[in-house]
Amino acid sequence: MNNDTLILIPAYEPDALLLQVLEQLQREGLPCLVVDDGSGPAYAEVFEKAGALAVVAGYPENRGKGGALKYGMEYIRKQMPQYRFFITADADGQHAVADILRVRELLRAKGGMVLGSRGFHGKVPLRSIMGNGLSRFNYAVAGTYYLRDNQTGLRGFETKDIPWLCSIPGTHYDYELNALMYAAKRSFPIHELEIQTIYIEGNSRSHFRSVVDTLRLHRKIFRASIPSLLALGLRILCFFLLLRWLPCSRARPDLALALSGLAGAGLSFLLNAAVYQLPAGGPLRVTWPRLGMTLLRLCLQQLLFALLFHLLGLPVVWALIPAILLTAAAEYCILKLLAQPRYRVINQTRL
Protein backbone atom coordinates (compact mmCIF):
# COMPACT_ATOMS: atom_id res chain seq x y z
CA MET A 1 0.00 0.00 0.00
CA ASN A 2 2.86 2.42 0.82
CA ASN A 3 4.33 2.33 -2.70
CA ASP A 4 1.13 2.50 -4.75
CA THR A 5 1.38 6.23 -5.52
CA LEU A 6 3.85 8.14 -7.72
CA ILE A 7 4.39 11.92 -7.69
CA LEU A 8 4.59 13.42 -11.20
CA ILE A 9 6.39 16.79 -11.37
CA PRO A 10 6.60 18.72 -14.66
CA ALA A 11 9.59 21.07 -14.52
CA TYR A 12 10.59 23.88 -16.85
CA GLU A 13 13.79 25.78 -16.05
CA PRO A 14 13.67 24.82 -12.34
CA ASP A 15 15.96 26.10 -9.58
CA ALA A 16 17.07 24.66 -6.25
CA LEU A 17 13.45 24.61 -5.02
CA LEU A 18 12.88 21.49 -7.12
CA LEU A 19 15.64 19.70 -5.20
CA GLN A 20 14.16 20.80 -1.88
CA VAL A 21 10.74 19.45 -2.95
CA LEU A 22 12.26 16.12 -3.98
CA GLU A 23 14.22 15.82 -0.73
CA GLN A 24 11.05 16.40 1.29
CA LEU A 25 9.11 13.84 -0.74
CA GLN A 26 11.95 11.32 -0.44
CA ARG A 27 11.87 11.66 3.36
CA GLU A 28 8.21 10.69 3.24
CA GLY A 29 8.97 7.67 1.07
CA LEU A 30 7.14 9.09 -1.97
CA PRO A 31 8.64 8.02 -5.34
CA CYS A 32 8.80 10.77 -7.95
CA LEU A 33 8.97 11.19 -11.71
CA VAL A 34 10.32 14.55 -12.90
CA VAL A 35 9.70 15.58 -16.51
CA ASP A 36 12.24 18.00 -17.98
CA ASP A 37 10.03 20.12 -20.25
CA GLY A 38 12.81 21.13 -22.64
CA SER A 39 14.65 23.32 -20.13
CA GLY A 40 17.90 23.23 -22.11
CA PRO A 41 21.59 22.67 -21.26
CA ALA A 42 21.69 25.52 -18.73
CA TYR A 43 19.58 23.43 -16.35
CA ALA A 44 21.32 20.10 -16.88
CA GLU A 45 23.05 20.34 -13.48
CA VAL A 46 19.73 20.75 -11.64
CA PHE A 47 18.25 17.71 -13.36
CA GLU A 48 21.44 15.72 -12.77
CA LYS A 49 21.08 16.36 -9.02
CA ALA A 50 17.37 15.59 -9.26
CA GLY A 51 18.28 12.23 -10.79
CA ALA A 52 19.72 11.13 -7.46
CA LEU A 53 16.34 11.75 -5.80
CA ALA A 54 13.85 10.73 -8.49
CA VAL A 55 13.39 9.28 -11.95
CA VAL A 56 14.06 12.02 -14.51
CA ALA A 57 12.76 11.89 -18.08
CA GLY A 58 12.27 14.55 -20.71
CA TYR A 59 12.85 15.89 -24.21
CA PRO A 60 14.84 18.74 -25.83
CA GLU A 61 12.04 21.07 -26.99
CA ASN A 62 9.62 22.85 -24.63
CA ARG A 63 6.06 21.48 -24.99
CA GLY A 64 4.25 23.41 -22.27
CA LYS A 65 2.89 22.11 -18.98
CA GLY A 66 0.13 20.09 -20.62
CA GLY A 67 2.64 18.45 -22.94
CA ALA A 68 4.89 17.61 -19.99
CA LEU A 69 2.00 16.09 -18.04
CA LYS A 70 0.94 13.95 -21.00
CA TYR A 71 4.53 12.80 -21.54
CA GLY A 72 4.81 11.91 -17.88
CA MET A 73 1.53 10.00 -17.89
CA GLU A 74 2.54 7.97 -20.93
CA TYR A 75 5.90 7.28 -19.25
CA ILE A 76 4.08 5.99 -16.16
CA ARG A 77 1.79 3.81 -18.26
CA LYS A 78 4.65 2.24 -20.22
CA GLN A 79 7.59 2.26 -17.79
CA MET A 80 5.99 2.29 -14.32
CA PRO A 81 2.82 0.18 -14.49
CA GLN A 82 3.19 -0.94 -10.85
CA TYR A 83 1.58 2.28 -9.52
CA ARG A 84 -2.19 2.46 -8.96
CA PHE A 85 -2.27 6.23 -8.43
CA PHE A 86 -0.27 9.29 -9.39
CA ILE A 87 -0.32 12.86 -8.08
CA THR A 88 0.79 15.89 -10.09
CA ALA A 89 2.63 18.59 -8.15
CA ASP A 90 4.48 21.78 -9.07
CA ALA A 91 8.27 22.06 -9.04
CA ASP A 92 8.40 25.44 -7.29
CA GLY A 93 7.47 24.41 -3.75
CA GLN A 94 3.89 25.71 -3.81
CA HIS A 95 2.49 22.41 -2.56
CA ALA A 96 3.19 21.34 1.03
CA VAL A 97 4.21 17.71 1.42
CA ALA A 98 1.56 17.33 4.14
CA ASP A 99 -1.09 18.31 1.57
CA ILE A 100 0.31 15.88 -0.99
CA LEU A 101 -0.04 13.12 1.60
CA ARG A 102 -3.65 14.16 2.30
CA VAL A 103 -4.44 14.06 -1.41
CA ARG A 104 -2.95 10.57 -1.55
CA GLU A 105 -5.15 9.34 1.29
CA LEU A 106 -8.33 10.81 -0.20
CA LEU A 107 -7.39 9.36 -3.59
CA ARG A 108 -6.99 5.93 -2.04
CA ALA A 109 -10.35 6.27 -0.29
CA LYS A 110 -12.43 7.83 -3.09
CA GLY A 111 -10.67 7.17 -6.39
CA GLY A 112 -11.61 9.30 -9.40
CA MET A 113 -9.91 12.72 -9.47
CA VAL A 114 -8.77 14.57 -6.35
CA LEU A 115 -7.96 18.29 -6.41
CA GLY A 116 -5.91 20.07 -3.79
CA SER A 117 -7.89 23.32 -3.76
CA ARG A 118 -6.42 26.50 -2.34
CA GLY A 119 -8.55 28.54 0.06
CA PHE A 120 -6.80 31.81 -0.97
CA HIS A 121 -6.38 32.99 2.62
CA GLY A 122 -3.64 35.33 3.80
CA LYS A 123 -1.34 37.25 1.44
CA VAL A 124 -2.42 36.27 -2.07
CA PRO A 125 -1.41 38.29 -5.19
CA LEU A 126 -4.36 40.35 -6.45
CA ARG A 127 -3.99 38.96 -9.97
CA SER A 128 -4.37 35.44 -8.57
CA ILE A 129 -7.54 36.35 -6.67
CA MET A 130 -9.12 38.04 -9.71
CA GLY A 131 -7.98 35.38 -12.18
CA ASN A 132 -9.24 32.50 -10.08
CA GLY A 133 -12.54 34.24 -9.32
CA LEU A 134 -13.29 34.82 -13.00
CA SER A 135 -12.18 31.30 -13.88
CA ARG A 136 -14.45 29.86 -11.14
CA PHE A 137 -17.50 31.65 -12.51
CA ASN A 138 -16.85 30.79 -16.17
CA TYR A 139 -16.07 27.15 -15.41
CA ALA A 140 -19.14 26.68 -13.22
CA VAL A 141 -21.54 28.11 -15.80
CA ALA A 142 -19.88 26.29 -18.73
CA GLY A 143 -19.42 22.95 -16.97
CA THR A 144 -22.48 23.02 -14.66
CA TYR A 145 -20.14 22.13 -11.78
CA TYR A 146 -18.65 24.40 -9.13
CA LEU A 147 -15.00 24.03 -8.15
CA ARG A 148 -13.34 26.26 -5.58
CA ASP A 149 -9.99 26.16 -7.40
CA ASN A 150 -9.85 24.95 -11.00
CA GLN A 151 -6.28 26.13 -11.58
CA THR A 152 -4.55 24.06 -8.92
CA GLY A 153 -1.59 21.96 -10.01
CA LEU A 154 -1.96 19.49 -7.12
CA ARG A 155 -4.16 16.73 -8.51
CA GLY A 156 -4.51 13.01 -7.89
CA PHE A 157 -5.59 10.38 -10.44
CA GLU A 158 -5.87 6.65 -10.91
CA THR A 159 -3.36 5.32 -13.44
CA LYS A 160 -6.12 3.34 -15.17
CA ASP A 161 -7.51 6.69 -16.37
CA ILE A 162 -4.30 7.70 -18.18
CA PRO A 163 -5.57 6.76 -21.68
CA TRP A 164 -8.51 9.16 -21.62
CA LEU A 165 -6.53 11.83 -19.74
CA CYS A 166 -3.92 11.77 -22.51
CA SER A 167 -6.60 12.06 -25.20
CA ILE A 168 -7.80 15.42 -23.84
CA PRO A 169 -6.62 18.33 -26.03
CA GLY A 170 -4.24 21.03 -24.77
CA THR A 171 -0.49 21.43 -24.36
CA HIS A 172 -0.01 24.37 -21.99
CA TYR A 173 -1.81 25.48 -18.81
CA ASP A 174 -5.06 25.12 -20.72
CA TYR A 175 -4.71 21.33 -20.57
CA GLU A 176 -5.45 21.26 -16.84
CA LEU A 177 -8.65 23.26 -17.30
CA ASN A 178 -9.62 21.12 -20.28
CA ALA A 179 -9.24 18.00 -18.13
CA LEU A 180 -11.65 19.42 -15.55
CA MET A 181 -14.11 20.48 -18.23
CA TYR A 182 -14.14 17.02 -19.79
CA ALA A 183 -14.50 15.44 -16.34
CA ALA A 184 -17.42 17.71 -15.42
CA LYS A 185 -19.22 17.21 -18.74
CA ARG A 186 -18.87 13.43 -18.43
CA SER A 187 -19.88 13.41 -14.72
CA PHE A 188 -16.50 11.91 -13.80
CA PRO A 189 -16.06 11.90 -9.98
CA ILE A 190 -14.14 14.98 -8.78
CA HIS A 191 -13.23 15.42 -5.11
CA GLU A 192 -11.71 18.55 -3.56
CA LEU A 193 -9.52 18.90 -0.50
CA GLU A 194 -8.58 22.30 0.88
CA ILE A 195 -4.83 22.85 1.00
CA GLN A 196 -2.49 25.63 2.06
CA THR A 197 -2.19 28.63 -0.24
CA ILE A 198 1.55 29.10 -0.74
CA TYR A 199 2.97 31.87 -2.92
CA ILE A 200 6.76 32.11 -2.85
CA GLU A 201 8.08 35.65 -3.53
CA GLY A 202 4.66 36.78 -4.75
CA ASN A 203 4.54 33.87 -7.21
CA SER A 204 7.35 35.49 -9.19
CA ARG A 205 8.96 32.10 -9.89
CA SER A 206 5.89 30.81 -11.70
CA HIS A 207 6.08 30.41 -15.48
CA PHE A 208 2.37 31.26 -15.71
CA ARG A 209 2.06 34.39 -17.88
CA SER A 210 -0.67 36.52 -16.36
CA VAL A 211 -2.04 37.95 -19.61
CA VAL A 212 -1.21 35.34 -22.26
CA ASP A 213 -2.03 32.23 -20.25
CA THR A 214 -5.15 33.77 -18.65
CA LEU A 215 -6.47 34.64 -22.10
CA ARG A 216 -5.64 31.12 -23.28
CA LEU A 217 -7.53 29.61 -20.33
CA HIS A 218 -10.65 31.68 -20.89
CA ARG A 219 -10.48 31.10 -24.63
CA LYS A 220 -10.57 27.38 -23.83
CA ILE A 221 -13.58 27.89 -21.55
CA PHE A 222 -15.28 29.78 -24.37
CA ARG A 223 -14.51 26.99 -26.84
CA ALA A 224 -15.78 24.44 -24.36
CA SER A 225 -19.00 26.45 -24.15
CA ILE A 226 -19.53 26.56 -27.93
CA PRO A 227 -21.91 23.53 -27.99
CA SER A 228 -24.04 25.11 -25.27
CA LEU A 229 -23.83 28.58 -26.84
CA LEU A 230 -24.81 27.16 -30.23
CA ALA A 231 -27.76 25.40 -28.63
CA LEU A 232 -28.70 28.68 -26.91
CA GLY A 233 -28.59 30.55 -30.23
CA LEU A 234 -30.78 27.96 -31.92
CA ARG A 235 -33.13 28.06 -28.94
CA ILE A 236 -33.54 31.84 -29.29
CA LEU A 237 -34.19 31.39 -33.01
CA CYS A 238 -36.76 28.70 -32.22
CA PHE A 239 -38.34 31.02 -29.64
CA PHE A 240 -38.95 33.79 -32.18
CA LEU A 241 -40.20 31.32 -34.82
CA LEU A 242 -42.70 29.92 -32.34
CA LEU A 243 -43.82 33.46 -31.53
CA ARG A 244 -44.85 33.79 -35.17
CA TRP A 245 -46.44 30.35 -35.53
CA LEU A 246 -48.29 29.89 -32.24
CA PRO A 247 -51.85 31.25 -31.97
CA CYS A 248 -52.05 34.76 -30.56
CA SER A 249 -52.66 34.90 -26.82
CA ARG A 250 -51.19 36.53 -23.74
CA ALA A 251 -49.52 33.21 -22.85
CA ARG A 252 -47.89 32.80 -26.27
CA PRO A 253 -44.40 34.12 -25.26
CA ASP A 254 -44.37 31.89 -22.16
CA LEU A 255 -45.31 28.79 -24.18
CA ALA A 256 -42.75 29.65 -26.87
CA LEU A 257 -40.03 30.04 -24.22
CA ALA A 258 -40.93 26.71 -22.58
CA LEU A 259 -40.99 24.74 -25.84
CA SER A 260 -37.80 26.33 -27.17
CA GLY A 261 -36.13 25.71 -23.79
CA LEU A 262 -36.83 21.98 -23.90
CA ALA A 263 -35.62 21.79 -27.50
CA GLY A 264 -32.48 23.77 -26.64
CA ALA A 265 -31.67 21.53 -23.65
CA GLY A 266 -31.93 18.40 -25.79
CA LEU A 267 -29.79 19.92 -28.53
CA SER A 268 -27.20 21.07 -25.98
CA PHE A 269 -26.87 17.52 -24.65
CA LEU A 270 -26.42 16.06 -28.14
CA LEU A 271 -23.80 18.65 -29.11
CA ASN A 272 -21.87 18.23 -25.86
CA ALA A 273 -22.03 14.45 -26.24
CA ALA A 274 -20.49 14.75 -29.71
CA VAL A 275 -17.68 17.01 -28.43
CA TYR A 276 -16.86 15.36 -25.09
CA GLN A 277 -17.01 11.69 -26.03
CA LEU A 278 -13.35 10.76 -25.74
CA PRO A 279 -11.99 7.62 -27.43
CA ALA A 280 -11.05 6.03 -24.10
CA GLY A 281 -13.54 7.85 -21.91
CA GLY A 282 -16.94 6.49 -22.86
CA PRO A 283 -20.07 8.42 -23.79
CA LEU A 284 -21.54 11.46 -22.09
CA ARG A 285 -24.15 10.35 -19.56
CA VAL A 286 -27.33 11.93 -18.27
CA THR A 287 -27.17 12.13 -14.47
CA TRP A 288 -29.88 13.24 -12.06
CA PRO A 289 -27.90 16.25 -10.75
CA ARG A 290 -27.25 17.51 -14.29
CA LEU A 291 -30.85 16.88 -15.32
CA GLY A 292 -32.10 18.61 -12.18
CA MET A 293 -29.89 21.65 -12.84
CA THR A 294 -31.13 21.83 -16.44
CA LEU A 295 -34.77 21.83 -15.30
CA LEU A 296 -34.01 24.41 -12.61
CA ARG A 297 -32.31 26.64 -15.20
CA LEU A 298 -35.36 26.44 -17.49
CA CYS A 299 -37.74 27.20 -14.61
CA LEU A 300 -35.67 30.20 -13.50
CA GLN A 301 -35.59 31.62 -17.01
CA GLN A 302 -39.34 31.11 -17.30
CA LEU A 303 -39.96 32.85 -13.98
CA LEU A 304 -37.66 35.80 -14.71
CA PHE A 305 -39.08 36.22 -18.20
CA ALA A 306 -42.63 36.26 -16.83
CA LEU A 307 -41.64 38.84 -14.23
CA LEU A 308 -39.99 41.14 -16.76
CA PHE A 309 -42.54 40.69 -19.54
CA HIS A 310 -45.86 40.47 -17.72
CA LEU A 311 -45.29 42.44 -14.51
CA LEU A 312 -42.83 45.09 -15.70
CA GLY A 313 -44.19 45.26 -19.25
CA LEU A 314 -40.83 45.07 -21.04
CA PRO A 315 -40.76 44.14 -24.73
CA VAL A 316 -40.10 40.48 -25.51
CA VAL A 317 -36.43 40.97 -26.45
CA TRP A 318 -35.64 43.13 -23.41
CA ALA A 319 -37.31 40.58 -21.18
CA LEU A 320 -35.59 37.55 -22.75
CA ILE A 321 -31.95 38.74 -22.66
CA PRO A 322 -31.87 39.82 -18.97
CA ALA A 323 -33.70 36.60 -18.05
CA ILE A 324 -30.92 34.53 -19.65
CA LEU A 325 -28.11 36.59 -18.07
CA LEU A 326 -29.67 36.68 -14.62
CA THR A 327 -30.26 32.93 -14.79
CA ALA A 328 -26.53 32.36 -15.46
CA ALA A 329 -25.65 34.42 -12.36
CA ALA A 330 -28.27 32.60 -10.27
CA GLU A 331 -27.03 29.22 -11.54
CA TYR A 332 -23.50 30.04 -10.38
CA CYS A 333 -24.76 30.94 -6.90
CA ILE A 334 -26.84 27.76 -6.71
CA LEU A 335 -23.94 25.54 -7.83
CA LYS A 336 -21.68 27.20 -5.26
CA LEU A 337 -24.29 26.70 -2.54
CA LEU A 338 -24.81 23.05 -3.46
CA ALA A 339 -21.05 22.46 -3.31
CA GLN A 340 -20.70 23.62 0.30
CA PRO A 341 -21.79 20.34 1.97
CA ARG A 342 -19.27 18.54 -0.25
CA TYR A 343 -16.47 20.75 1.09
CA ARG A 344 -17.57 20.42 4.72
CA VAL A 345 -17.73 16.61 4.55
CA ILE A 346 -14.34 16.20 2.87
CA ASN A 347 -12.41 18.79 4.83
CA GLN A 348 -13.71 17.65 8.23
CA THR A 349 -12.80 14.03 7.51
CA ARG A 350 -9.75 12.65 9.31
CA LEU A 351 -7.45 11.10 6.70
* pLDDT tens readout for residues 61-91: 999 999 999 999 999 999 999 999 999 999 9
Gyration radius of the chain's alpha carbons: 23
Q: Are residues 202 and 252 in the same domain?
A: no
Position 218 scores a pLDDT of 61
Cα gap 239→263, rounded to integer Å:
10
305, pLDDT greater than 80: yes
Q: Give the pLDDT mean for 154-160.
A: 97
The reply to whether 215 and 328 lie within a common domain is no
Residues 6+ apart with CB under 8 A from 270: none
Overall average pLDDT of the 276-304 stretch: 79
Asked whether 151 and 229 are in contact (CB, 8 A), the reply is no
Q: Are residues 208 and 241 in the same domain?
A: no
Domain count across the chain? 2
Q: How many angstroms separate the CA atoms of 71 and 76, rounded? A: 9
Which domain range does residue 160 map to? 5-220
Listed in sequence order, the residues at least 6 apart from 262 whose beta carbon sits closer than 8 Å to its beta carbon are 298
Is pTM beyond 0.75? Reply is: yes
Q: Do both 124 and 146 map to the same domain?
A: yes
Across the chain, what does the average pLDDT equal? 85
Q: What tens digit of pLDDT does each residue of 198-235 get?
A: 755 544 445 455 555 556 666 666 666 777 888 889 99
Under the banding of pLDDT at 50, 70 and 90, the label for residue 350 is very low
Among 197, 220, 243, identify where a domain stops.
220
Within the chain, residue ranges assigned H as helices are 16-27, 44-50, 64-79, 97-110, 126-143, 162-166, 174-185, 210-245, 252-276, 288-306, 316-347
Last residue of a domain, one of 173, 190, 220: 220
Q: What is the pLDDT of residue 274?
A: 78
CA distances to 21, 311, 325 from 304, rounded to whole Å, are: 52, 10, 10
> In this model, does residue 116 exceed pLDDT 80?
yes
Higher pLDDT, 188 or 351: 188
Q: Which of 112, 98, 119, 105 is nearest to 343 (CA)?
A: 119
| Rounded average pLDDT over 168-193 | 87
The verdict on 244 and 278 lying in the same domain is yes
208 with 247, same domain? no
Q: Same domain, yes or no, for 204 and 241?
A: no
CATH of the domain at 186: 3.90.550.10
* 241 plus 174 within the same structural domain: no
Instruction: Band the pLDDT of 351: cuts 50, 70, 90.
Output: very low
Residue 321, pLDDT > 90, answer yes
Report the alpha-carbon distance of residue 255 to residue 209 in Å, rounded. Answer: 48
Nearest-angstrom CA–CA distance, 101 and 323: 46
144 shares a domain with 250: no
192 plus 230 within the same structural domain: no
Give the residue-averaged pLDDT of 234-262. Answer: 90
Domain end residue (candidates: 220, 235, 266): 220
In DSSP notation, 319-347 reads HHHHHHHHHHHHHHHHHHHHHHHHHHHHH
Q: Nearest 5°: phi and psi at 348?
A: -100, 0
- Cβ pair 175, 168 in contact under 8 A: yes
Structure confidence at residue 142 as a pLDDT band (50, 70, 90): confident
20: nearest Cα among 91, 81, 124 = 91
Same domain, 171 and 33: yes
Closest listed residue to residue 277, CA positions, set 179, 186, 176: 186
Query: Is 12:94 a contact under the CB 8 Å cutoff?
Result: no
137 and 262 belong to one structural domain: no
Q: What is the pLDDT of residue 204?
A: 45
Share of the chain above pLDDT 90, in %: 54
Indicate the SS3 state at residue 171.
coil
Q: Residue 195: is its pLDDT beyond 80?
A: yes
| b/e burial code for range 208-240 (CB count within 10 A of at least 16 → b) | beeeebbebbbebbebbbebbeebeebbbebbe
